[in-house]
Amino acid sequence: MAVLASGEGTNLQALLDDASLGPQVALVVSDRPQARAIGRARGAGVQTVVVEPSGFQDRASYDEALVALLEDEKIDVVVLAGFMRILGPEVVTRYENRILNVHPSLLPAFPGDRSVAEALEWGAKLTGVTVHLVDDQVDHGPVVAQEAIPVLPDDDRDSLEARVHEVEHRLLPMAVRAIVEGRIQVDGRTVRIEEG
């Protein structure tokens, strides 16, 4: 599998630390050379590649390069773990139902990159984590797994985000394990996970 990450790489680390999944992470790709995820991957002996958007004429050429890289490395499953770029149709089509994304809300609530802050701004009583298959819309694909997290009266962004990360680090490996083992069945927007 390939993991795409733009930042700290804590979800990548959760996958690397999982005894059954860590050895299957063959490639880590980032769009930012300073991403801490790159250091985490190198520390685990995983091949890393930085594909910076500034080196490409447009999004389509970036996506073409990404698909070529994934195909060259014989990648079967792609995991977006804090990857802050929208994948274009070429990538999504090539890896249909084989790209997982972890998102810090109970989708369809609070899509986008401000989910935790928006949950607080809206006075939400619940937020959570969603792992979903990626389709051609942002934070929209079929839901593989979700878990709710209460928003406490004294929560701020840091405290709520810390609890969100705890759930992400548990839920994402479970979903990745299911897709790697071929236990995910997709019927329209409905995803069923066969028992392992």
Q: What is the share, in percent, of the chain residues with pLDDT greater than 70?
A: 100
- pLDDT, tens only, 128-185: 999 999 999 888 999 999 999 999 999 999 999 999 999 999 999 999 999 999 999 9
- What is the predicted pLDDT for the residue at 195? 87
Q: What is the share, in percent, of the chain residues with pLDDT greater than 90?
A: 95
Q: Tell me: do 178 and 121 sit in the same domain.
A: yes
Q: Tell me: do 77 and 125 sit in the same domain.
A: no
CATH number of residue 21's parent domain: 3.40.50.170
Q: Tell me: do 117 and 193 sit in the same domain.
A: yes
Q: Tell me: do 57 and 108 sit in the same domain.
A: no
Predicted confidence (pLDDT) at residue 38 exceeds the cutoff of 80 = yes
**Residue spans of beta strands (DSSP E) within the chain:** 2-4, 27-30, 47-50, 78-80, 99-103, 126-133, 143-150, 184-187, 190-193
- Residue 153: CB partners within 8 Å, gap ≥ 6? none
Q: Which residue matches tokens 């090539």?
A: 94
- How far is it, in rounded angstroms, from Cα 56 to Cα 68? 14
Residue 137 lies in a domain: no
Rg over CA atoms, the chain: 16
Predicted confidence (pLDDT) at residue 196 exceeds the cutoff of 80 = no
- What is the predicted pLDDT for the residue at 107? 96
Closest CA to 117 of 102, 101, 104: 104
- Whether residue 89 contacts residue 80, with contact meaning beta carbons closer than 8 Å, is answered with no
- pLDDT, tens only, 100-134: 999 999 999 999 999 999 999 999 999 999 999 99
Domain housing 44: 1-95
Residue 139 lies in a domain: no
103 is catalytic: yes
In the set 103, 132, 165, 169, the catalytic residue is 103
Read off the pLDDT of each residue in 53-82 and give the average, rounded to a whole number: 95
Q: Tell me: do 122 and 161 sit in the same domain.
A: yes
Q: Tell me: do 34 and 81 sit in the same domain.
A: yes
Number of domains observed in the structure of the chain:
2
Q: Which residue matches tokens 């939400």?
A: 124
| Helices 157-180/10-17 angle, 10° precision | 40
Residue 165 lies in a domain: yes
Residue 135 lies in a domain: no
Q: Tell me: do 1 and 35 sit in the same domain.
A: yes
As given in the structure block, the two tokens for residue 6 are: 């733009």
Q: Phi and psi of 82, rounded to 5°? A: 80, 30
Predicted confidence (pLDDT) at residue 194 exceeds the cutoff of 80 = yes
**Residue spans of beta strands (DSSP E) within 2-80:** 2-4, 27-30, 47-50, 78-80
- How far is it, in rounded angstroms, from Cα 23 to Cα 104? 26
Mean pLDDT of the chain: 96
